[in-house]
């Protein structure tokens, strides 16, 4: 799990669930995320120069380390929970040394705004050469089968719930002027422009704070949207900041144009915050109609959904209570499935 950011909470959660396995965990020294215990930190890269230098210096060292683990400890498998640009080399090296390779596919086909040709080629290589594939949704499994193809044994393990901050979940009632939150990377497919269009002309006396928070990869920044003022936090967020945002807002909005599955949804479940989601990709696999408001990926539909929800305190409360019950269930069996799949 050498990635610095993105999917690291997922990877840490899954790796920590592998009880009873002797394992060596390699992570990026540059990751700001909470990482599994007893890890080995590797200098990966933060820019193009470091990529070239450390690929020539530290990637060979890591390959030698893998070889020694096979020879001295009899390791039999390698698990890749997230994509990294070193994965193709490491995967091939593991195969040469007889290790069974298990690879988690978050996105079989990269999204709009992320479609770098070499990234897709490297991802295709990993998918086609792994012995076992873990998918987070049936949607991604079928899309990957159709667009890329694979022969590996597969398993669908939904994204585990993510709970950050205080273990106490806020009890929510709909206030007079509810606040809206968009959380996550600002990229084309996440539909921030749909949210801004929906807010344009929205009656300002009906909403409280509107916050768009996450690192901006899209190049735009909203100003005042008619009567609605948007608070823009365009940077990477610490866990404490994410926790504060989830607890200080009333509705989480996911206006995605496409989606494989969403780690933001799992954060929303963990905080039991009612969500408005588009009915695209794997999102309907993560939430039931009793746990979210589902809409088409259109600005008009989003505006109507916001208005309908802020005018319906009973529905808001019911959604919150359904999410609260699910958050308290923990859904630990999801991570337990990985250990079973690795042992098969």
pLDDT tens digits, 294-304:
999 999 999 99
- The number of distinct structural domains making up the chain is 2
145-175 burial: b if 16+ Cβ within 10 Å, else e: eeebebebebbbbbbbbbbbbeeebeebebe
What is the arrangement of strands in the sheet containing 77-80, beginning at the earlier edge strand? 77-80, 100-105, 132-135, 153-156
Cβ neighbour number for residue 326 with a 10 Å cutoff: 18
Residue 276: inside a domain, yes or no?
Answer: yes
Domain boundary among 156, 188, 220: 156
Q: State whether 150 and 199 are in the same domain.
A: no
pLDDT tens for 92-139 read 999 999 999 999 998 888 876 665 778 899 999 999 999 999 998 999
Q: Is residue 32 part of a domain?
A: yes
pLDDT of residue 250: 97
For the cut 90, the answer to whether the pLDDT of residue 59 exceeds it is yes
Give the three-state DSSP class for 101.
Answer: strand
Query: Is 125 inside a domain boundary?
Result: yes
Whether 311 is covered by a domain: the verdict is: yes
The reported pLDDT for the residue numbered 97 is 94
Task: Check whether residue 88 and residue 192 sit in a common domain.
Answer: no
Choose one of 156, 172, 201: the last residue of a domain.
Answer: 156
Q: Are 140 and 199 found together in one domain?
A: no
95: three-class secondary structure by DSSP: helix
Residues 148 and 288 in one domain: no
User: 192-231 pLDDT, tens per residue?
Assistant: 989 999 998 888 788 999 999 998 877 766 655 566 778 8
Res 252: pLDDT: 98
Poorest-pLDDT segment among 32-46, 63-77, 92-106, 142-156: 32-46
In a shared domain, residues 67 and 203: no
Q: Which of 109, 124, 156 is the last residue of a domain?
A: 156
- Do residues 210 and 231 lie in contact, with contact meaning Cβ atoms separated by under 8 Å? yes
Predicted TM-score of the model (pTM): 0.86
Main-chain dihedrals φ then ψ at residue 4, nearest 5 degrees = -80, -45
**Count, residues in the chain:** 344
Give the Cα separation of 103 and 101 in Å (integer). 6
- Indicate if 212 and 297 belong to the same structural domain: yes
CATH classification at residue 280: 3.40.50.2000
151 and 205 in a single domain? The answer is no
Question: Do the Cβ atoms of 212 and 233 come closer than 8 Å?
Answer: yes
Is residue 172 assigned to a domain? no
One domain, residues 117 and 223: no
Q: For residue range 253-280, what is the model confidence (pLDDT) as tens digits? A: 999 998 888 889 999 999 999 999 999 9
Cα–Cα distance, 61 to 26 (Å, whole number): 12
**Same-domain pairing of 192 and 295:** yes
200: domain range?
180-329
| pLDDT on residue 95 | 95
The answer for 98, left when phi > 0, alpha when psi is -120 to 50, beta otherwise, is left
Quick one: average pLDDT of 287-315? 96
Region of poorest pLDDT, from 15-29, 66-80, 175-189:
15-29
277 with 187, same domain: the answer is yes
Q: Are residue 287 and residue 194 in the same domain, yes or no? A: yes
Asked, for residue 270, whether it belongs to a domain, the answer is yes
pLDDT of residue 9: 72
Q: Is the pLDDT of residue 24 over 70?
A: yes
Percent of the chain with pLDDT over 90: 50
């Amino acid at each position: 799990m050498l990635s610095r950011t993105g999917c690291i909470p997922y990877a840490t959660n899954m790796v920590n669930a592998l009880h009873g396995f002797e394992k060596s965990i390699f992570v990026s020294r540059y990751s700001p995320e909470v990482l599994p215990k007893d890890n080995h930190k590797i200098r990966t890269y933060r820019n193009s120069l470091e990529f070239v230098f450390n690929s020539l210096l530290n990637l060979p060292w890591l390959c030698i380390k893998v070889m020694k683990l096979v020879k001295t400890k009899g390791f039999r498998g390698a698990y890749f929970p997230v994509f990294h640009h070193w994965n193709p080399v490491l995967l091939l090296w593991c195969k040469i040394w007889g290790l069974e390779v298990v690879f988690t596919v978050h996105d079989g086909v990269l999204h709009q705004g992320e479609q770098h040709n070499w990234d897709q080629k490297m991802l295709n290589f990993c998918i086609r050469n792994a012995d076992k594939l873990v998918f987070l949704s049936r949607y991604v499994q079928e899309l990957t089968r159709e667009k890329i193809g694979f022969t590996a044994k597969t398993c669908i393990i939904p994204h585990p719930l993510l709970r950050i901050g205080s273990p106490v979940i806020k009890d929510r009632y709909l206030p007079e002027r509810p606040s809206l939150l968009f959380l996550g990377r600002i990229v084309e497919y996440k539909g921030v422009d749909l949210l801004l269009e929906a807010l344009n002309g929205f009656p300002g006396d009906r909403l409280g704070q509107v916050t768009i928070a996450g690192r901006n990869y899209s190049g735009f920044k909203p100003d005042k949207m008619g009567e609605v003022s948007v608070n823009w936090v365009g940077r990477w967020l610490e866990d404490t900041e994410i926790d504060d945002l989830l607890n200080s807002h009333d509705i989480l909005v996911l206006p995605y144009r496409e989606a494989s599955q969403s780690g933001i949804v799992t954060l929303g479940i963990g905080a039991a915050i009612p969500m408005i989601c588009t009915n695209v990709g794997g999102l309907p696999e993560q939430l039931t109609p009793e746990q979210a408001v589902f809409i088409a990926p259109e600005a008009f539909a989003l505006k109507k959904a916001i208005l309908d929800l802020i005018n319906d305190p009973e529905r808001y409360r019911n959604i919150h209570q359904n999410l609260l019950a699910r958050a308290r269930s923990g859904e630990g069996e999801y991570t337990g499935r990985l250990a079973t799949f690795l042992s098969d």
